[in-house]
Structure 1
Amino acid sequence: MPLFALLMLSLPAPAFAQEAEPAPPPAYSTLADVLEDETARRALIEDLRRLAAPAVEEAAEAAAAPDPSLARQIATMTKGIAEQVIVQAQGVWTGLTEMFNGGGRDLAQLSEWAANLAIVIATVLVLFFVLRRAVRPAYARADRWVMAQQEGERRWVHRIIAIGGTALLDLVVVLVAWVGGYVLALTWLGTAGRMETAQSLFLNAFLIIEIVKLGMRGLFASRYQGLRILPLPAEDAAIWNILLARLVGLIGYGMLFVSPVVTAQISWGAGRAVAVLVMLLAFLYALTGILAQRKRVRDALTARAGNAKSGFTGAAIRLLARTWHVFAILYFAALALVTIVRPGDALPFMASATFQTLAAVAGGFVAYAILERLIMLGVRVPEETRRRLPQLERRLNTYIPTGLRVVRTVVVVVVLALIAAAWEVWDVAAWMASERGSVVLSAAIDIAVIVVLAAAVWIAVASWVEHRLSPETGTGEPGAREKTLLAIFRNAFSIVLITMTAMIVMSEMGIDIGPLIAGAGVLGLAIGFGSQKLVQDIITGVFIQLENAINTGDVVTVGGISGTVEKLTIRSIGIRDLAGSYHIIPFSSVDLVTNFMRDFAFHVGEYGIAYRENVDDAIERLKEAFEELRANPDNAPLILDDLEVSGVVALADSSVNIRVRIKTAPGSQWAIGRAYNKLVKQHFDAAGIEIPFPHMTLYFGQDKDGSAPPVPLPQPVIQGKAAE
């Protein structure tokens, strides 16, 4: 709010009336007074010579360095400020001396002038406070009307109406008091139809200051919660309203009324001294108030940071909570310093800088809030699109929020640059118009466009691959070969896109990529000689993919490892074995690929029966087991042909082995084999066919007459003694 106050206070006060005799404009009158005063004239000449010397020196330096760096600009500005402080300090001392000497004015004339001015001031203030008290019940009724509404959009509508109505009523009170002062000055004091300049200065200062305070009362409204714009407790609102109102009154009346009056009545130097003293008092008062409220504001901001939905926002608010008093002190210190260094245009400069700062901060805050909201909302795709492209929403919520965070950072940088330009720390417009600035901006825009296009291309290609891989696209489940090739294409395309984007970005940044490409070629050649194994991996992988030897999901035996293929790259294959272990095998180690998932497969079963069993009967039982297997609706689609009986393939030591073969869909041979083995056991048991298993025969010897000797068994032991 003090920023807006300074903006309003800097507005020129219009001369609504003239004195009894036509008078030259105030600036000419002041200059004439300075030239008539011998001491002031000499001081002015010395000041002009001091000001001219640095200007000549700076012009020579600027000609030698037409495009100074930021550090040089800051050094030059600091040097000028230091020199101006010395010059203005001398002028303030001279002005104080003149002010205490009285300026040689006639005391009788001065008394009459002061009396008329005091009557105008008293009349305006009394009329203003009486009218304010008269309309106070209207504020209370408006507050009750707002608070009677329920929370939500309805209350906000009523609040806007009430705030606008009370502000209009407050403005009417100010205008009535201001017009009353003008009527009094023009009709009752001095010559009818004319008024003194001091009276006009006070009335215009009163109008500007009270309009500023009107806005402050709308922001804080310490007595009326329903009319308070800022979400502050009543106690905090009252403290800040009083603090800022006193600052506005001190600075406004001091700079717009007291200083011009002292300049007109005493001398230019005395008026400058008053302006400096007013700003120093304002700075000390602001410093005291800021330090007194430091902890209260810090605690309030810290509590608000805890409720922030974004971590970045919470961190920014916590940083502001720890440093807000520093920025406030620096602002009022700058105001006092500018008043000392540039007394002629201190308030206009501060108002312009303040307005630009407010506009930059407000615009940045709105943009920041919108971006933060978009980041928090994320991206939602239609249900049909999510069904067909399940990864698209996740991909968009990865890239778009990241881009918005980058834009948010750019907004912060732009706001800081605009603030620096507003306070003449850095001439942004001149830098943008310079060759260096135009190159940097052009490169930044080109890089942003390139990165955005690269991200869009990647999202489109990845989504197309995902669309082809999805069984919901209308073309059905893609084949294993298509899955593998599309996955490899996606990986290869990402590498190519990242490489090309990086090279183009480096080119836009001014880096000569020609030597880089040549160096990369030489480096690639050196790596090729030193990494022949890697080259062999890639070449072998390419030919394996061209021959369609392996696809993701196949069950293979590669490099002595059997398992399911989970991942294929251009260099290696990832296999998960039966125990769950994951193996990465480089293609250079692949001499033989055994794929169990091509076209069809066989379950080869070899079943042994005892020598006493009938072979034909056993074969019939095997066929019955197969028919029962095929009758199962879960197994029937996986069996591609009838049972092949090879017959007796071996007369083993303890069994007669019969081999059969079942043709199955690829990858189903193991499940079909397990189910068939179960049925064979059941049918053999039902038919009483023995499935041999290992036996052991014990031979104890035989006498010559053919009788067998007794088996030598150990004697049992009972309670430690041999049994009798």
Structure 2
Amino acid sequence: MTKQDFMGPKGIIIIALAVFTVLTWVFSDQIYGADAVFYQNNFGNSALNTAVSYIPAVIKTIVIMFCAWLINFVVQIVLEYFAKGSKEVITAMKLIKSLVKYLIFIVAILLCLSAWGVNTATLIASAGILSLIIGLGAQSLIADIIAGLFMVFENDFEVGDIVVIDGWRGTVTEIGMRTTKLVDYRGNIKIVNNSKISTVINQSKKTSVALCYIGVEYGDDLSRIELVIRDNIDRVKSHIPQIINGPFYKGVDSLGESSVNLLFMADCKEEDLFIVQRAMNREWKIVFDENHINIPFPQVTVSQYEAHQETMD
């Protein structure tokens, strides 16, 4: 929650709920006590008496949910403070934050049920209710939670890694108890249930390889071009700080229709892959221009067909 939220309508609601919570604590005897007006049944109407008798439970529910939100808010801030350093620490803290949020929510629900007179101990111990919950879909929830724990403990990927899941490439921003969130380079967010993640390509475990293809004219002297490349390869590297190893000249990759295609490679971090590829294209273009090495473009020769017409005498 941002500072702007506190200054707006959300902040007003939070302050009002805080004041309401304090007042219910101060006047708890008058609200929940045996002599409270809500239990007097002196309104002359049975339906109205019943409705009024539920007011303390409603008040308790509001207070419990607000306190649960407040506790979760404070705990999330504390955990966020410690979620610094290595990717392992950040990933673990993200998972703990998700776990704490669910635990607080479950406890709050049980307290609310208790406020309405439900015997929560019996509810928890009831095998029939548990079976009903599982039958209503808790299998997938449990599967998501177990899958999330395995992903963290087996270190398949971490927050900040670039991965490919179901053909979707993005940076892992959160590994939660139920879902994993990815964001691509356009800012699109993909949310995947942990149990649905079957195969993962982790592109951040090792360095990636940036590729650069440049075509030269067939008429140019290839030996001279390779000498120019050798003399300028260190200069190109000095202009691209994201390169870890390289760049390396790998020779003639293919013989195209209009050009001899040369291949350059460089090791870099996955998050720098496209930056390095664009930078190598630029730097080698500058080098080739300075040394009068032409990069060809497709050319088409068009000839006009003239039909032979015989004249009749």
Q: TM-score scaled to structure 2, two decimals?
A: 0.69
The yes-or-no answer on 1:525 pairing with 2:134 is: yes
Q: Which residue of 1 aligns with 2:205?
A: 598
Offset, 1:466: 1.6
Q: Which residue of 2 aligns with 1:571?
A: 178
Q: 2:68 & 2:194 partners in 1: Cα distance?
A: 32
Q: Which residue of 2 aligns with 1:665?
A: 269
Q: Deviations over 1:171-210 (max 9, x none)?
A: xxxxxxxxxxxxxxxxxxxxxxxxxxxxxxxxxxxxxxxx
Q: Which residue of 2 aligns with 1:61?
A: none
Offset, 1:572: 3.0
Offset, 1:559: 1.0
The CA RMSD measured in Å over matched residues stands at 4.4
Higher helix content, 1 or 2? 1
Of 7, 11, 20, which aligns to 1:405? 20
| Count of residue pairs brought into register by the alignment | 282
Give secondary structure in 1 for the equivalent of 2:181.
strand
Letter aligned with residue 468 of structure 1: F
Letter aligned with residue 495 of structure 1: Y
Of 279, 290, 304, which aligns to 1:675? 279
Give secondary structure in 1 for the equivalent of 2:245.
coil
Q: Which aligned pairs between 1:482-501 and structure 2 lie closer than 5 A?
A: 482-501=89-108
Letter aligned with residue 631 of structure 1: S
Of 561, 564, 572, which aligns to 2:168? 561
The yes-or-no answer on 1:542 pairing with 2:149 is: yes
Unmatched 5+ residue regions in structure 2? Answer: 41-56, 308-313
Over 3 Å counting, the alpha-carbon distance change for 1:478 and 1:520 in structure 2 is farther
The yes-or-no answer on 1:480 pairing with 2:87 is: yes
Of 189, 192, 196, which aligns to 1:585? 192
Q: 1:461 & 1:566 partners in 2: Cα distance?
A: 20
Over 3 Å counting, the alpha-carbon distance change for 1:619 and 1:587 in structure 2 is farther
Over 3 Å counting, the alpha-carbon distance change for 1:681 and 1:558 in structure 2 is same
CA contact (8 A) 1:553 1:566 kept: yes
Q: Which residue of 1 aligns with 2:47?
A: none
Give secondary structure in 1 for the equivalent of 2:246.
coil
Q: Which residue of 1 aligns with 2:300?
A: 696
Q: Which aligned pairs between 1:332-371 and structure 2 lie closer than 5 A?
A: none
Letter aligned with residue 613 of structure 1: D
Offset, 1:630: 3.3
Q: TM-score scaled to structure 1, two decimals?
A: 0.33
Of 457, 461, 467, which aligns to 2:75? 461
CA contact (8 A) 1:541 1:572 kept: yes
Higher strand content, 1 or 2? 2
Offset, 1:646: 1.9
CA contact (8 A) 2:162 2:270 kept: no
Over 3 Å counting, the alpha-carbon distance change for 1:620 and 1:408 in structure 2 is farther
Over 3 Å counting, the alpha-carbon distance change for 1:609 and 1:535 in structure 2 is farther
Give secondary structure in 2 for the equivalent of 1:643.
strand
Over 3 Å counting, the alpha-carbon distance change for 1:575 and 1:621 in structure 2 is farther
Taking every aligned residue pair, what percent have the same amino acid on both sides? 23
Q: Deviations over 1:514-553 (max 9, x none)?
A: 331124421233135xx65555444444333333333344
CA contact (8 A) 1:625 1:679 kept: no
Q: 1:412 & 1:534 partners in 2: Cα distance?
A: 41
Q: 1:410 & 1:489 partners in 2: Cα distance?
A: 31
CA contact (8 A) 2:94 2:174 kept: no
Give secondary structure in 1 for the equivalent of 2:96.
helix
Offset, 1:680: 1.1
Q: Which residue of 1 aligns with 2:311?
A: none
Unmatched 5+ residue regions in structure 1? Answer: 1-389, 427-442, 470-476, 702-710, 713-724
Q: 1:652 & 1:567 partners in 2: Cα distance?
A: 45
Q: Which residue of 1 aligns with 2:48?
A: none
Of 285, 289, 312, which aligns to 1:685? 289
Q: 1:571 & 1:451 partners in 2: Cα distance?
A: 22
Letter aligned with residue 554 of structure 1: D
Q: Which residue of 2 aligns with 1:643?
A: 247
CA contact (8 A) 1:604 1:662 kept: yes
Give secondary structure in 2 for the equivalent of 1:667.
helix
Offset, 1:625: 5.3
Q: Which residue of 1 aligns with 2:50?
A: none
Offset, 1:399: 6.3
Over 3 Å counting, the alpha-carbon distance change for 1:495 and 1:534 in structure 2 is closer
Letter aligned with residue 403 of structure 1: A
Over 3 Å counting, the alpha-carbon distance change for 1:546 and 1:410 in structure 2 is closer
CA contact (8 A) 1:551 1:565 kept: yes
Offset, 1:451: 8.1
Over 3 Å counting, the alpha-carbon distance change for 1:579 and 1:641 in structure 2 is closer
Offset, 1:649: 2.8
Q: Deviations over 1:27-63 (max 9, x none)?
A: xxxxxxxxxxxxxxxxxxxxxxxxxxxxxxxxxxxxx
Give secondary structure in 1 for the equivalent of 2:212.
strand
Over 3 Å counting, the alpha-carbon distance change for 1:579 and 1:625 in structure 2 is farther
Q: 1:690 & 1:579 partners in 2: Cα distance?
A: 35
Offset, 1:626: 4.3
Q: Which residue of 2 aligns with 1:618?
A: 225
Give secondary structure in 2 for the equivalent of 1:642.
strand
Q: Deviations over 1:635-671 (max 9, x none)?
A: 42x2222322222232334332222211123411211
